[in-house]
Amino acid sequence: CFPDTVLIYTLSTARALTPQTAETDAIRFLVGTQSLKYDNQIHIIDFDDENNIINKNVLLHQAGEIWHISASPADRGVLATCYNRTSDSKVLTCAAVWRMPKELESGSHESPDDSSSTAQTLELLCHLDNTAHSNMACVVWEPMGDGKKIISLADNHILLWDLQESSSQAVLASSASLGGKGQLKFTSGRWSPHHNCTQVATANDTTLRGWDTRTMSQIYCIENAHGQLVRDLDFNPNKQYYLASCGDDCKVKFWDTRNVTEPVKTLEEHSHWVWNVRYNHSHDQLVLTGSSDSRVILSNMVSISSEPFGHLVDDDDISDQEDHRSEEKSKEPLQDNVIATYEEHEDSVYAVDWSSADPWLFASLSYDGRLVINRVPRALKYHILL
């Protein structure tokens, strides 16, 4: 039996992390580096659960330092990055879609201390750059799709792309812009897995917005969602109207997009900017956050989950409660609480994410290049399952 805290792996300065979304068997994360001195790299981190070891492969990303990375939901070999490049002494953040070498698409088991292996190069499939939009904040893939639709957020533009010809060509299908005074700029976005994947949520400044991808029109707007900049957001995978957000006010907030006047719940456990919030893909009461206070917090948000009474509750079930109200009286919703605070990092935690293969495993990445892989505490796992 291995401990709940699994392993620490160190690379150079980094802030971009994603699970290999299309890989549902092997536990695998991709990490992008941010170095001004050396060629930047993508580290493919395979976690061998049985032997409790990390195997790594390194891909060169010579285009520039990586600010954001996301993996295709349909093709294990395809990923997108947002990266910096200098042009006419101006720094631009560009985006591109890449393919890794065929032999690295699925988990390999190279020895962890084999430093002699040479780094391989990514194959450029296409750029998502449109000369009118100089700063790409992030790229998000249509979650349930065939890996052919992606959205990029650039300055104040939201751009929907169709990837064609085996992803070698990105065609701009539609776009929309933020109107208003001042320098409006998107900071992050997520594509909802609900509503037939027709909704995207974005953050800019202190505002959250929902967009319909069919018309590229705004469907809801939460102004002053946070007291300061909103850093990240995520959709509840099991409750179609629920959205979590986090920001520089040190708070994590949970919203019902049908009624945006007040958050449903607010967490105030971090003492500095919260960079990342992630719902567990299977058990939506488990919520991960990472912050500049160097901590990762795993929270149990059971009261607003799809299992508030410890069993799966559908939105429709709640309206049927008249039928068995007497039965429910004795059943109080379970209490929300912090499950664990992880302090293995010594620098700002810029990214946290769940494995796409194992629902009880997650990774966190701090700016000093420390990647920590942890497990949900065993006692809680069995409490949820049994």
For residues 44 and 57, the answer to whether their CB atoms sit within 8 Å is: yes
Least confident stretch, 170-174, 253-257, 313-317, 342-346: 313-317
What is the distance between the alpha carbons of residues 95 and 371, in angstroms, rounded to a whole number? 24
How sure is the predictor about 384, in pLDDT bands with cuts at 50, 70 and 90?
confident
Query: 197-208: per-residue pLDDT in tens?
Result: 999 999 999 999
What is the distance between the alpha carbons of residues 137 and 159, in angstroms, rounded to a whole number? 12
Concatenating the DSSP letter of every residue in 159-220 gives EEEEEETTTTEEEEEEEEE--SSS---EEEEEE-SSGGG-EEEEEETTEEEEEETTTTEEEE
pLDDT of residue 322: 47
Residue that is written with structure tokens 């998107």 in the block: 186
pLDDT of residue 130: 63
What is the distance between the alpha carbons of residues 23 and 16, in angstroms, rounded to a whole number? 18
pLDDT of residue 5: 62
With a cut of 60, say whether residue 325 has pLDDT above it: no
pLDDT, greater one: 332 or 196: 196
Query: 12-22: per-residue pLDDT in tens?
Result: 899 899 999 99
What is the distance between the alpha carbons of residues 231 and 247, in angstroms, rounded to a whole number? 5
Looking at residue 128, the DSSP 8-state letter turns out to be -
pTM above 0.95, yes or no: no
Radius of gyration of the chain from Cα atoms?
21
Closest CA to 79 of 16, 36, 144: 16
Query: 54-69: per-residue pLDDT in tens?
Result: 999 999 998 999 999 9
pLDDT of residue 229: 95
Query: 286-310: per-residue pLDDT in tens?
Result: 999 999 999 999 999 999 998 877 6
What is the CATH architecture of 7-103+119-306+332-385?
7 Propeller (2.130)
pLDDT averaged over the chain?
87
What is the residue extent of each domain of the chain?
Answer: 7-103+119-306+332-385
Across 32-53, average pLDDT: 88
**Percentage of residues of the chain with pLDDT beyond 90:** 64
For residues 362 and 287, the answer to whether their CB atoms sit within 8 Å is: no
Query: 79-135: per-residue pLDDT in tens?
Result: 999 998 877 778 888 999 999 998 888 765 554 445 546 789 999 999 997 666 668
- For the ranges 87-91, 178-182, 256-260, the one whose mean pLDDT is highest: 256-260
pLDDT, greater one: 184 or 247: 247
